[in-house]
Structure formats: C-alpha cells, structure tokens
C-alpha cells in the first residue's frame, strides 16, 4: 500500500501525560501498574490495574465543553489535542479529516450511572447528557466537533485489537483518498463493572503460589492480563510549518480471524495468525527477512502468548527478529493496544528497542525470550501484532522511510 506518514502523537497514559513522558516510561522500562484505589476490590482475586493519575482535563478542554464529557471522552479529546499540537497542523488548512477510534468496552461507567438515575428517578428525570455519553462513539464525536472535522467518523470495538483495527480503517481511507488527513487511536477506562466481570471469568492476573500480581508477557509464570486505561491518538497528514519529519510510516496491514477461538478466549489457530502477519508484510511489499523487530500483542494470558509465539516461530523460523512486549508497562485493551502501537512508532523514530516489561522467566515451551533491555538498534520495518479474544487478528507494518 502507499505509505502514510505519522506526524503527530498524543498520549494520556498510566504513568505518562504526553509523548515525552511516555518515551521516558518506555526508556526506563518501568511499570505503571499498581493497586486499584478507585473502587473496592475486596472479594476479588485481582487488585491491580494501570490507572491514569495526575491528569487534569481542564488543561486540555474548555470548562463549558468539559461539563459535557465523561472520563472516556476527556481522555480521547486530550490525547487528540496533544497529537494535533505535536504535528503543528492547522485544522483550517487540512482539508477533509477523518476520525477512527477503538475502544474495547466503551463508556460502561456512564451507562451504569445513567441506568441508576433511570431506575431511581424515572425516564423523565434521568439526565439526557449521561445518555448521550453512554454510546461508544461519543469520544470520536467530541474530537470531530472540537476541530470541525468532516471526514469519516468511526468507532471500532474489537476487544484487544480495537485500536489497531481503527488505524487500519483510517489508513485504508487515506490510501483511497477519501480524506486528506486522519486522527486514529484507542481509548479505555478502568471501571468496577468490567474489572469484576473479567476477574470472575479468570482473565485477570492474580497472586498465586506466593507470586505477586503482575502482567508477565511470555513468562513461564504468567496467569492473566491486567486492565489499563487512557488514550493514545496518532495524527496522519501534513504537518504545519514547524513540523518535524514523520516519526514513521504505516506501510502495510493485515486482518484475519482464528476460527478456533471461543468468544472470550484465544484459540489454537496459529496458521491464521501467520497468514495475517504475512498479509501485512506483503501489503508493505516486503519479505519476512526485512522485518527488524516485532512489537507483540502478548498480554500475560497463557493462551494468547502461546498462540502468538507459535505464529512468530512459524513465520520467522530460526531468523526470529527481536520481540518486544510492552503491555507490562501500561496494561491491556484499547488504550493498551494504542500505546503498544505508539511504542513501536517511537522505536523506529528513536532507533531503539524497548525492554519487555514484566518478563523475567523463560517458558520452557518457547524457544525465545523477548528483548529484556533497552538498546540501540537499526530498525527499518517493525511488525505490530494484535490478537483479540474471540479470534480477531490485526497486524501492521511500520517503516522508517517513505519508500
């Protein structure tokens, strides 16, 4: 496909507000996962998540507009503002601009609050603004309204792959020429309902055999994922007069499905994952030997990480490039997927491989270890992998040059 420049990045993340702070988080290899203090986790097996702290929405959004937004919309609009500022693009001169966001669960907390008001006060007195914010596409709509964007406006809900699927859609429209620029990314909020449901179905990491609760990608002791929140937004289009060179370029995408997966778990279809990765590489007009590194989907779930490892082993064989697993820093789901993508973009821009946060003990069933230390590296093309429970698969290739 035609290569698409990435000219702006905005990050509202656990442990990092802004791309500079996020770059520092990755460089230090530290985790933003900690104890949940937003709601009571007593009686649950899991007690940790990656929460956004020190975020002041009023620094990014006018007070009258702020009142109309829930937390999810505030994260997304703030990240979009940072991305637009980073690109130095002038919205008035951009032409048609589209918006594509991914969210795994959407504004669940707002829906809970609205239904509580509805039950307690009745339909006539339930706040209409809460209802307006209870739909998954509210954050994307606020972004379009804030800057007057009139291109496509789409919200993707594909579990763990939501953000990368949204980026794929936006990239396809840029290639077709239906828009001149696009804002894309992911947004998520940690809330009590989703946390408790995931805990009850055994998806979340927990303390076991004296082992502390942590997200351990590809690790022998992994026993589940941990929730993360925030937003990462990427701007693709012409930068303004003060714009730097693009961070990187989208050069290929692949999409597929593992038909062996259950609705809330990963399957055994490594062939489907291999084929999706290969489609992305071929879409970029590259060979597997051209891939400098892989930024993996690995989230500490036993089946997810094993499936991804088997696919990578089958795709690359003995010529496996370095593999980086970053979700131990900032958790899983749509914000985590968007931050994984941003980490890969920064790897190319800075020519560094990041440490795989959370990994320490090799799984004897796997013939490799993810990259363990930050180090300089020549990165021309990076494969970004995303596997979602239920069988969704999205892969992307990022490149250093325009072609």
DSSP string, 263-299: TTS--S-HHHHHHHHHHHHHHTT--GGG--EEE----
Instruction: Measure the CA–CA gap between 182 and 167, rounded to whole angstroms.
Output: 9
- Among 248, 169, 167, 216, which Cα is nearest to 332's? 216
Residue 403 has pLDDT above 90, yes or no: no
Lookup: tokens for 388: 């979602």
Band (76; pLDDT cuts 50, 70, 90): very high
- Among 7, 6, 21, which Cα is nearest to 230's? 21
Instruction: Measure the CA–CA gap between 203 and 197, rounded to whole angstroms.
Output: 9
pLDDT (tens digit, 9 = 90+) per residue, 156-196? 999 999 999 999 999 999 999 999 999 999 999 999 999 99
- Among 381, 369, 368, which Cα is nearest to 292's? 381
Question: Quick one: DSSP state of residue 204?
Answer: B
pLDDT (tens digit, 9 = 90+) per residue, 357-399? 999 999 999 989 999 999 999 999 999 999 999 999 999 999 9
pLDDT given for residue 241 in this prediction:
66
Instruction: Measure the CA–CA gap between 126 and 134, rounded to whole angstroms.
Output: 13
Residue 128 has pLDDT above 80, yes or no: no
pLDDT (tens digit, 9 = 90+) per residue, 344-365? 999 999 999 999 999 999 999 9
Band (293; pLDDT cuts 50, 70, 90): very high
What is the mean pLDDT of the segment spanning 37-49? 96
Instruction: Measure the CA–CA gap between 9 and 243, rounded to whole angstroms.
Output: 12
Q: What are phi and psi of 103, to 5 degrees?
A: -145, 130
Asked: is 4-236 a CATH 3.40.50.920 domain? The reply is: no
Band (121; pLDDT cuts 50, 70, 90): confident
Residue 125 has pLDDT above 80, yes or no: no
Instruction: Measure the CA–CA gap between 277 and 386, rounded to whole angstroms.
Output: 10
CA 245 from chain center: how many Å? 23
Higher pLDDT, 119 or 125: 119
pLDDT given for residue 70 in this prediction:
94
| CB-side neighbour CA atoms (13 Å) of 44 | 26
Q: What angle do CA 187, 188, 192 make, to 5 degrees?
A: 165
User: What H or E segment, with its residue span, contains residue 303?
Assistant: helix 302-316
pLDDT given for residue 239 in this prediction:
77
* Crossing angle between the packed helical segments 192-200 and 108-121, to the nearest 10 degrees: 110
The residues of the chain that CATH labels 3.40.47.10 are 4-236, 248-399
Instruction: Measure the CA–CA gap between 230 and 84, rounded to whole angstroms.
Output: 17
Number of other residues whose CB lies within 10 A of the CB of residue 215: 34
Q: Do the strands 48-50 and 97-102 form a parallel or antiparallel pair, or are they unpaired?
A: unpaired
What is the mean pLDDT of the segment spanning 301-313? 97
CA 268 from chain center: how many Å? 23
Strand, coil or helix: 227: strand
Asked: is 248-399 a CATH 2.60.40.10 domain? The reply is: no
User: Picking from 70-79, 122-131, 224-233, which range would have the lowest pLDDT averaged per residue?
Assistant: 122-131
Instruction: Measure the CA–CA gap between 349 and 371, rounded to whole angstroms.
Output: 18
Residue 400 has pLDDT above 70, yes or no: yes
Residue 89 has pLDDT above 70, yes or no: yes
Residue 111 has pLDDT above 90, yes or no: no
């Amino acid at each position: 496909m035609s290569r698409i420049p990435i000219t702006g990045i905005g990050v509202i993340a656990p442990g990092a507000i802004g791309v500079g702070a996020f770059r520092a988080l990755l460089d230090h290899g530290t985790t933003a996962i900690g104890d949940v203090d937003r709601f009571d986790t007593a009686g649950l097996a899991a007690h940790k998540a990656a929460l956004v702290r020190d975020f002041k929405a009023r620094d990014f959004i006018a007070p009258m507009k702020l009142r109309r937004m829930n937390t999810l919309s505030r994260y997304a609009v703030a990240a979009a503002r940072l991305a637009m500022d980073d690109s130095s693009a002038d919205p008035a001169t951009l032409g048609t601009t589209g918006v594509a966001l991914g969210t795994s669960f959407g504004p669940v907390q707002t829906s809970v609050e609205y239904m509580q008001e509805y039950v307690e006060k009745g339909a006539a007195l339930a706040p209409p603004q809460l209802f307006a914010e209870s739909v998954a596409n509210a954050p994307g709509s606020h972004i379009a309204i804030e800057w007057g964007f009139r291109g496509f406006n789409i919200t993707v809900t594909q579990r763990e792959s939501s953000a990368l699927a949204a980026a794929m859609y936006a990239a396809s429209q840029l290639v077709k020429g239906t828009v001149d620029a696009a804002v894309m990314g992911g947004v998520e909020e940690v809330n009590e309902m989703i946390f408790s449901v995931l805990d009850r179905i055994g998806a979340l990491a927990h303390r076991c055999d004296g082992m502390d609760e942590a997200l351990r990608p590809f690790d022998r002791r992994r026993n589940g994922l941990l929730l993360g929140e925030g937003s990462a937004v990427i701007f693709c289009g012409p930068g303004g007069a003060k714009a730097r060179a693009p961070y990187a370029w989208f050069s290929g995408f692949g999409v597929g499905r593992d038909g062996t997966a259950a609705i809330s778990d990963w399957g055994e279809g490594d062939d489907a994952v291999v084929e999706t990765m290969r489609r992305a590489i071929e879409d970029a007009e590259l060979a597997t030997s051209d891939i400098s590194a892989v930024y993996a989907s690995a989230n500490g779930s036993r089946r997810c990480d094993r499936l991804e490892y088997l696919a990578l082993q089958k795709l690359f064989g003995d010529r496996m490039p370095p593999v980086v697993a970053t979700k131990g820093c900032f958790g899983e789901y749509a914000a985590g997927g968007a931050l994984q993508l941003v980490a890969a973009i920064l790897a190319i821009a800075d020519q560094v491989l990041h440490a795989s946060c959370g990994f320490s003990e090799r799984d004897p069933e796997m013939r490799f270890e993810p990259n363990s230390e930050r180090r300089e590296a020549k990165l021309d093309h990076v494969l970004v992998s995303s596997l979602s429970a239920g069988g969704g698969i999205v892969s992307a290739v990022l490149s250093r040059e325009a072609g």
